[in-house]
């Protein structure tokens, strides 16, 4: 998406959980007063825009990878860094008390999904003393001991072509090397991605062409893996409208080299808002506005006590896509400060392949 | 016959014998009441300080601090986080606000704060944030929300940018909690961290502390665990008390029920003969019991609530003083108490009625309906009792020899108590028949014979009395021993007059120089320690100087003759009792302590008692300590000084070095506080003692009363032979007191046995240390007097009633004689 509107802003909620009233999942429908707002027609600049945008309320660096062990066993890996501003920067400066003061909160999520287990870790930090942050060039995103860093090269990706990725939790860890020759992909109108009929939008671009190799550390031992990965970058200040409750998002990599990013935002009135980007193997894109993509639940399963649709029918008739998307492991629940479902999927139907599915707002 | 009619017939028994009915009701209520009361105190105290313990900021979790006591730099925090450690910074300090009050300001980082600390920021209900963001925003950005302890609700904060001031019950008194960024500003400590609180679950892959931050040391959360252990010990005592009280109560209930069933045998036979099926009769009896149990249970729960409400302020004060545990001192009424109180009343009633009921059910339909006098106990039942008692003692012995664990320990206690109770009637009969043989005059011969004859009917009540007395002796002995041991131990441990902790190494050095030059100071003893592994277990190693303070005072359980000289020569190590018990170490055994890179081996020179500390601990000579661990912090010292000059020296140190509060402690204060605490513990114990004794006294009273009516056939002939009613009443009273006296004599060894079991078996299983037993003969005397008074009162009413019996009634006995 991703609207990956995983609301770092609602880190607040982890503290004293309050009912999120009519403000969408994680309060992402909250008004954007005082913050910058995405403008249609803005040309994104690189490597600058790989870095953080503190004037916007929320932002993320979101990497998902579909991997395989030497024995053909499938794995999914997630590495995410969320930034959330508690106050617009101008206001924040006036309230500065000491070097500890920061209105920028950072939250990292890491996960490994195997066909029969799901390992999750969360890392939190305030934006002080360099505990967490993102710099554009040379590219480096980090929180505590987790890191995603570039070597400055990578041609078409303008600084994020080669990445080293690491994270660990109490029962798992990974270290991956990523490289991509493909170009950056811009969703919507040159990266201006509309999220609702009433005009909420975010800046959204991706690098979906990474080849990956590396090492996973699991309770059962080390595993060498190879595969592909997809990086999403998104930032905004009010990406959801107030009546949107959550979303279902997929990134699909088909065996013929083409890719599809699609999401639907579930609205309380039942009129879901959908959006999709078709990506050819050479990086050419076609954006599809509301209602072109169709996502239909096939069946739900129980993940950590919630009924979550882990089997979907995804259709994009204009591209002849009619596929079934099935979770590799139905239990890929992210038991983090803001819980959601995120895990690798297998694709069957008109096209075959692998991908990632994310679902939020299921209670 | 229909069930309702059967019930009515059965019920008529009680209308003829209201006293018996009330005895049953009151006995059951008292038993349930004591049980519920103790439960109420326990749960209330537990829930209060379960919350409170999380409020002792960061003490509930392990943390890192600098070995030299100086503040940690944010760069070190960053390095740790980048090495895979999960820590949360905490800054604290003292500051005076506008109105002159000195407040402890604690700055936390809510983002990384471990969940265990969340209760800190739980505001008073109904004051949750209004911004809908969950309060975090208000905590982190101006105007800042700050939390204060209830006593600071009216604090005038002359600080810019403060928004809401929220009162949090969970904060220790005198504390202001805020974000670390604001705390740094208020305390004027930019770029400082007092300590880093460690999240409970750390990654295995994190880099060793000695590599990332060698200047830091990990401080284990010992204080929290100690408190939990000690308070557990307190609750264990209370629970044991509650169970004993209930057992005593059950004896009354069983006695009364038994009697009622015996007396209703004729009624039951008539019911059966007139066509009532056994099923209907059994159901009716069960229903009746259930009803009585529910009514008595309800009264008992209410009674328990009042007992608890009366005692709780003392319990609360005790726990607060002894362990710093906060108990609100107020009592909520929990639904759970109702249920558990009623459940135990019903279960107890059915347990007590079980034998009577089965006997009744097995009764042949046309069996003689003559009430079998209680006295007609067959030799068979004596044998059965002796066998059961033997089995109980054998079980206790076997478990003591081969069992382990807390449940086993309590089973031993239970088996010994039941075994002894079962033995009582026959032991008593034996003693009385001895007296009988010695008696010469006819009246005394009759007196003894009649006493023996009456014994079976009183035996249950006497068992109850014995258990009550034994419980009294046992628990008082335990609490008393605990007090003596603990105070003695405090005396030994706090042999020095003053304890001082310097702010940092530099100040410590100055302090040593200053104290060495001070004319009043006799000695300055280092209290330096490191966290390491002792014989593979994590624990603390202390360095001690070679000084008579230790030679004379240190509490040793076992030691070699040359222990202190060996320690002084660096050739021996002293270990605490807990470690010795866990590892099975004896004097002379080798023990290893981990150095930075290798292990150092020393023989055990002695084992010392170390109450309240669950962890391993050891002592070596201070020179050896500094040689093995050159980095050891050297900030704490004990000062020996003429006690009369201690207060003066304390003031001088305070003035010279600005130390106070926890940094400079006068041992007299600690001792005084601990004595106060035990006084309160005694109040609670005594109150429970009096209650248990009252229950037992009541048991005797009801037994004597129910028997008095049946005893006319025994007394009438003696009256006819010329003894006056007054004389007979006097003999009755004497008999009661005599039986009680005999019971007391037998209760004494049982009580001591119980105390020994609690101190030496239960305590070891529960907490890993054994307490020496002290006997308090004067207390027994007092208890004896109380017991005799209780029995005399119980016996006086039936005796008085007899003395008022109309001669015509006595004559009737002969007319009715079968």
- Please report, for the domain that includes residue A317, its CATH number: 2.40.370.10
Please state, in angstroms and rounded to a whole number, the distance separating the CA atoms of residues A330 and A309: 9
More confident residue, B664 or A182: A182
Is the per-residue pLDDT at A118 higher than 70?
A: yes
Taking alpha carbons only, the member of B389, B393, B395, B421 closest to residue B408 is: B395
pLDDT at B123: 45
| pLDDT band, very low/low/confident/very high, at A315 (cuts 50, 70, 90) | very high
Measured CB to CB, residues of chain B less than 8 Å from chain A are 74-75, 77-78, 81-84, 107, 109-112, 118, 121-122, 128-129, 132-137, 139-142, 161, 179-182, 184-185, 190-191, 201-205
Are B177 and B58 contacting, i.e. CB atoms less than 8 angstroms apart?
no
Mean pLDDT, residues A159-168: 94
pLDDT tens, A188-220?
999 999 888 778 889 999 999 999 999 999 999
Q: Among A94, A126, A145, whose Cβ lies nearest the Cβ of B82?
A: A145
Q: For B116-144, give one letter per residue: b (16+ CB within 10 A) or e.
A: bbebbbbbeeeeebeebbbbbbbbbbbeb
Are A66 and A345 contacting, i.e. CB atoms less than 8 angstroms apart?
no
The 3-class secondary structure across B175-241, one letter per residue, is EEEEEHHHHHHHCCCCCCECEEEECCCCCCCCCCHHHHCCCEEEECCHHHHHHHHHHHHHHHHHHHH
State the DSSP code for A330: T
| pLDDT band, very low/low/confident/very high, at B304 (cuts 50, 70, 90) | confident
Listed range (A88-102, A212-226, B70-84) with the worst mean pLDDT: A88-102
Is the per-residue pLDDT at A79 higher than 50?
A: yes
Q: Is A265 among the domain residues?
A: yes
Taking alpha carbons only, the member of A322, A178, A158 closest to residue A252 is: A322
Which residue on chain B is closest to A131 by alpha carbon?
A: B78
pLDDT at A23: 39
The rounded mean pLDDT for chain B is 77
pLDDT at B50: 45
Listed range (A14-18, A40-44, B92-96, B320-324) with the worst mean pLDDT: A14-18
Residues from chain A contacting residue B182 (CB–CB below 8 Å): 97-98
CB contact under 8 A, A18 and B77: no
Residues 6+ apart with CB under 8 A from A228: A65, A66, A209, A210, A211, A212, A253
Q: Among B78, B129, B140, whose Cβ lies nearest the Cβ of A130?
A: B78
Is the per-residue pLDDT at B173 higher than 60?
A: yes
pLDDT at B1: 58
Backbone angles phi, psi at A124, to 5 degrees: -125, 150
The rounded mean pLDDT for chain A is 87
Whether omega before B360 lies within 30 degrees of 0, making that bond cis, reads no
pLDDT at A20: 30
State the DSSP code for A338: S
CB contact under 8 A, A170 and B84: no
Is the per-residue pLDDT at A239 higher than 80?
A: no
pLDDT at A16: 29
pLDDT at A301: 92
Are B724 and B783 contacting, i.e. CB atoms less than 8 angstroms apart?
no
E strand or H helix that includes residue B422: helix B406-438
Listed range (A183-187, B78-82, B642-646) with the worst mean pLDDT: B642-646
pLDDT at B810: 77
Listed range (A12-16, A268-272, B362-366, B490-494) with the worst mean pLDDT: A12-16
Distance from CA of B81 to the nearest CA of A (A): 5
This complex has an ipTM of: 0.89
CB contact under 8 A, B140 and A103: yes
pLDDT at B632: 85
Q: Is A24 among the domain residues?
A: no
Is the per-residue pLDDT at A299 higher than 70?
A: yes
Are B74 and B193 contacting, i.e. CB atoms less than 8 angstroms apart?
yes
CB contact under 8 A, B205 and A168: yes
First to last CA, chain B: 32
Q: Is A68 among the domain residues?
A: yes
If you write DSSP's letter for every residue of B47-96 in order, what string do you get?
HHHHHHHTTSTTTTS-EEEETT-PPBPHHHHHHHHHTT--EEEEEEEEEE
Q: Among B129, B137, B184, whose Cβ lies nearest the Cβ of A100?
A: B184
Q: Is A14 among the domain residues?
A: no
Share of chain B above pLDDT 90, in %: 6
Is the per-residue pLDDT at B68 higher than 80?
A: no
Is the per-residue pLDDT at B120 higher than 80?
A: no
- Which residue carries 């059962």 as its tokens? A220
More confident residue, A164 or A152: A164
A215 CB near a chain B CB, below 8 Å? Answer: no
Distances (CA, A) of B639 to B500, B551, B570, B651: 8, 16, 23, 14
Q: What is the CA radius of gyration of chain A?
A: 19
Mean pLDDT, residues A276-286: 95
CB contact under 8 A, B203 and A170: yes
pLDDT at A121: 94
Mean pLDDT, residues B726-744: 85
pLDDT tens, B19-50?
778 877 887 887 788 777 777 766 665 554 44
| pLDDT band, very low/low/confident/very high, at B59 (cuts 50, 70, 90) | very low
Is the per-residue pLDDT at B349 higher than 50?
A: yes
Mean pLDDT, residues B462-470: 80
Mean pLDDT, residues B587-616: 81
Is the per-residue pLDDT at B55 higher than 80?
A: no
Q: Is A120 among the domain residues?
A: yes
Q: Among B84, B134, B181, whose Cβ lies nearest the Cβ of A98?
A: B181
| pLDDT band, very low/low/confident/very high, at A235 (cuts 50, 70, 90) | very high
The tally of domains found in chain A comes to: 1
Is the per-residue pLDDT at B125 higher than 50?
A: no
Which residue on chain A is closest to B76 by alpha carbon?
A: A129
pLDDT at A45: 92
More confident residue, A11 or B632: B632
Chain centroid to CA B76: 44
pLDDT at A187: 95
CB contact under 8 A, B136 and A144: no
pLDDT tens, B405-456?
767 877 888 788 888 888 888 888 888 889 888 888 888 888 888 888 878 7
Q: Which two tokens stand for residue A167?
A: 């994270």
Q: Is A26 among the domain residues?
A: no
pLDDT at A224: 97
Is the per-residue pLDDT at B245 higher than 70?
A: no
Distances (CA, A) of B450 to B456, B460, B815: 11, 18, 22
Share of chain B above pLDDT 70, in %: 76
Mean pLDDT, residues A20-45: 68
Which residue on chain A is closest to B132 by alpha carbon?
A: A18
Q: For B492-509, give one letter per residue: b (16+ CB within 10 A) or e.
A: bbbbbbbbbbbeebebbe
Domain membership of residue A250 as a residue range: 45-359
pLDDT at B225: 45
Is the per-residue pLDDT at B567 higher than 60?
A: yes
pLDDT tens, B450-459?
888 878 777 7
Distances (CA, A) of A231 to A56, A118, A213, A255, B97: 20, 21, 15, 19, 52
Are A83 and A8 contacting, i.e. CB atoms less than 8 angstroms apart?
yes
Is the per-residue pLDDT at B132 higher than 70?
A: no
Listed range (A257-261, B133-137, B296-300, B388-392) with the worst mean pLDDT: B133-137
Q: Is A4 among the domain residues?
A: no
Best mean pLDDT range from A351-355, B100-104, B297-301, B623-627: A351-355
Is the per-residue pLDDT at B253 higher than 60?
A: yes
Q: Is A105 among the domain residues?
A: yes
Is the per-residue pLDDT at A17 higher than 50?
A: no
Share of chain A above pLDDT 90, in %: 66
| pLDDT band, very low/low/confident/very high, at A279 (cuts 50, 70, 90) | very high
Backbone angles phi, psi at B74, to 5 degrees: -55, -30
Instruction: Count Cβ atoms below 10 Å from residue B659 Cβ, excluding itself.
Output: 18
Is the per-residue pLDDT at B527 higher than 80?
A: yes
Chain centroid to CA B378: 42
Mean pLDDT, residues B600-606: 90
- Which residue carries 């105390």 as its tokens? B755
């Amino acid at each position: 998406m991703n609207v990956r509107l995983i609301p770092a802003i609602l880190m607040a909620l982890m503290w004293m959980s309050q009912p999120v009233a009519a403000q969408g999942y994680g309060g992402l429908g909250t008004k954007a007063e005082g913050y910058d707002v995405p403008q249609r027609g803005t040309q994104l600049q690189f490597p600058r825009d790989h870095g953080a945008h503190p004037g916007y309320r929320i932002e993320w660096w979101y990497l998902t990878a579909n991997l395989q062990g030497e024995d053909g066993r499938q794995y999914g890996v997630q590495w995410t860094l969320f930034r959330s501003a508690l106050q617009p920067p101008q206001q924040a400066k006036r309230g500065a008390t000491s070097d500890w003061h920061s209105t920028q909160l950072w939250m990292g999520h890491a996960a490994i999904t195997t066909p029969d287990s799901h390992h999750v870790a969360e890392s939190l930090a305030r934006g002080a003393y360099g505990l967490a942050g993102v710099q554009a060039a040379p590219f480096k995103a980090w929180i505590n001991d987790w890191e995603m860093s570039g070597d400055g090269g990578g041609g078409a990706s303008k600084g994020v072509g080669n990445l080293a990725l690491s994270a660990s939790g109490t029962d798992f860890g990974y270290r991956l090397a990523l490289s991509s020759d493909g170009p950056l992909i811009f969703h919507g109108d040159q990266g201006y991605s509309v999220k609702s009929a009433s005009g909420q939008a975010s800046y959204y671009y991706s690098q979906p062409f990474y080849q990956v190799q590396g090492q996973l550390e699991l309770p059962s031992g080390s595993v060498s893996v190879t595969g592909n990965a997809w990086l999403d970058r998104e930032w905004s200040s009010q990406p959801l409208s107030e009546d949107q409750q959550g979303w279902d998002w997929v990134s699909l990599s088909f065996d013929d080299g083409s890719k599809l990013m699609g999401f639907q935002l579930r609205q309380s009135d039942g009129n879901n808002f959908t959006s999709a980007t078709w990506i050819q193997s050479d990086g050419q894109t076609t954006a599809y506005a509301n209602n072109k993509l169709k996502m239909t639940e096939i069946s739900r399963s129980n993940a950590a006590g919630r009924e979550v649709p882990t089997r979907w029918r995804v259709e994009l008739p204009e591209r002849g896509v009619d596929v079934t998307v099935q979770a590799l492991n139905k239990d890929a629940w992210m038991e983090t400060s803001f819980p959601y479902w995120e895990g690798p999927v297998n694709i069957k139907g008109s096209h075959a392949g692998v991908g990632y599915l994310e679902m939020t707002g299921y209670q | 016959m229909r069930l309702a009619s059967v019930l009515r017939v059965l019920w008529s028994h009680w209308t003829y014998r209201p006293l018996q009915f009330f005895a049953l009701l009151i006995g059951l209520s008292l038993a349930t009441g004591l049980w519920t009361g103790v439960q109420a105190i326990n749960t209330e105290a537990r829930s209060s300080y379960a919350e409170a313990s999380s409020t002792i900021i960061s003490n509930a979790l392990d943390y890192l601090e600098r070995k030299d006591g100086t503040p940690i730099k944010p760069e070190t925090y960053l390095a740790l986080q980048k090495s895979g450690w999960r820590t949360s910074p905490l800054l604290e300090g003292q500051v005076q606000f506008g109105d002159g009050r000195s407040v402890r300001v604690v700055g936390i980082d809510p983002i990384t704060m471990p969940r265990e600390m969340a209760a800190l920021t739980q505001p008073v209900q109904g004051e949750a944030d209004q911004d809908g963001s969950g309060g975090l925003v208000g905590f982190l950005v101006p105007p800042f929300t700050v939390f204060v302890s209830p006593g600071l609700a009216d604090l005038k904060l002359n600080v810019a940018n403060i928004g809401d001031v929220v009162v949090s019950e969970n904060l220790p008194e005198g504390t202001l909690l805020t974000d670390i960024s604001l705390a740094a500003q208020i305390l004027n400590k930019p770029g400082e961290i007092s300590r880093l609180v460690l999240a409970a679950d750390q990654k295995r892959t994190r880099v060793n502390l000695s590599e990332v931050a060698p200047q830091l040391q990990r401080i284990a959360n010992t204080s929290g665990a100690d408190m939990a252990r000690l308070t557990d010990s307190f609750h264990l005592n209370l629970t044991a008390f509650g169970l004993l009280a209930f057992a005593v109560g059950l004896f009354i209930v069983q006695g009364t029920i038994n009697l009622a069933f015996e007396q209703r045998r004729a009624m039951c036979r008539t019911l059966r003969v007139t066509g009532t099926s056994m099923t209907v009769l059994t159901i009716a009896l069960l229903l009746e019991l259930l009803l009585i149990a529910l009514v008595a249970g309800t009264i008992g729960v209410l009674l328990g609530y009042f007992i608890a409400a009366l005692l709780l302020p003392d319990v609360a004060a005790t726990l607060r003083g002894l362990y710093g545990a906060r108990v609100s001192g107020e009592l909520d009424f929990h639904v759970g108490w109702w249920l558990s109180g009623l459940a135990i009343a019903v279960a107890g009633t059915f347990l007590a009625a079980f034998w009577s009921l089965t006997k009744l059910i097995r009764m042949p339909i046309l069996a003689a309906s003559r009430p079998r006098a209680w006295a007609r106990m067959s030799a068979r039942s004596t044998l059965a009792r002796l066998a059961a008692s033997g089995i109980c003692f054998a079980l206790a012995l076997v478990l003591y020899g081969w069992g382990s664990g807390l449940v086993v320990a309590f089973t031993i206690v239970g088996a010994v108590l039941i075994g002894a109770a079962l033995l009582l009637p026959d032991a008593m009969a034996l003693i009385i028949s001895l007296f009988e043989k010695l008696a010469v005059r006819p009246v005394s011969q009759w007196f003894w014979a009649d006493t023996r004859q009456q014994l079976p009917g009183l035996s249950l009540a006497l068992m109850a009395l014995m258990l009550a007395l034994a419980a009294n002796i046992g628990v008082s002995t335990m609490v008393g021993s605990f007090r003596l041991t603990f105070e003695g131990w405090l005396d030994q441990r706090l042999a020095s007059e003053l304890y001082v902790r310097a702010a940092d190494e530099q100040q410590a050095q100055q302090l040593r120089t200053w104290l060495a030059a001070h004319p009043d100071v006799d000695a300055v003893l280092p209290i330096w320690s490191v966290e390491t592994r002792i014989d593979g277990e994590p624990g603390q190693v202390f360095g001690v100087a070679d000084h008579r303070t230790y030679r004379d005072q240190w509490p040793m359980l076992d030691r070699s003759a040359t222990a202190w000289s060996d320690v002084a020569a660096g050739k021996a190590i002293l270990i605490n009792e807990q470690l010795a018990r866990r590892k099975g170490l004896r004097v002379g055994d080798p023990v290893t302590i981990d150095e930075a890179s290798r292990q150092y081996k020393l023989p055990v020179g002695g084992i010392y008692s170390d109450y309240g500390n669950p962890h391993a601990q050891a002592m070596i000579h201070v020179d050896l300590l500094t040689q093995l661990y050159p980095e050891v912090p050297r900030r704490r010292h004990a000062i020996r000084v003429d006690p009369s000059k201690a207060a003066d020296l304390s003031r001088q140190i305070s003035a010279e070095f600005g130390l106070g509060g926890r940094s400079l402690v006068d041992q007299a204060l600690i001792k005084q506080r601990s004595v106060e605490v035990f006084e309160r513990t005694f109040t609670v114990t005594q109150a429970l003692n009096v209650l248990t004794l009252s229950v037992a006294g009541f048991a005797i009273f009801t037994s004597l009363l129910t028997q008095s009516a049946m005893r006319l056939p025994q007394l009438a002939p003696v009256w006819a032979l010329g003894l006056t009613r007054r004389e007979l009443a006097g003999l009755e009273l004497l008999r009661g007191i005599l039986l009680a006296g005999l019971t007391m004599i037998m209760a004494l060894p049982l009580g001591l046995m119980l105390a020994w079991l609690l101190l030496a078996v239960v305590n070891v299983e529960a907490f890993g240390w054994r307490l020496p037993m002290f006997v308090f003969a004067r207390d027994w005397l007092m208890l004896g007097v109380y017991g005799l008074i209780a029995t005399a009162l119980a016996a006086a009413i039936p005796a008085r009633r007899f003395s008022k019996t109309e001669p015509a009634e006595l004559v009737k006995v002969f007319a009715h004689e079968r």
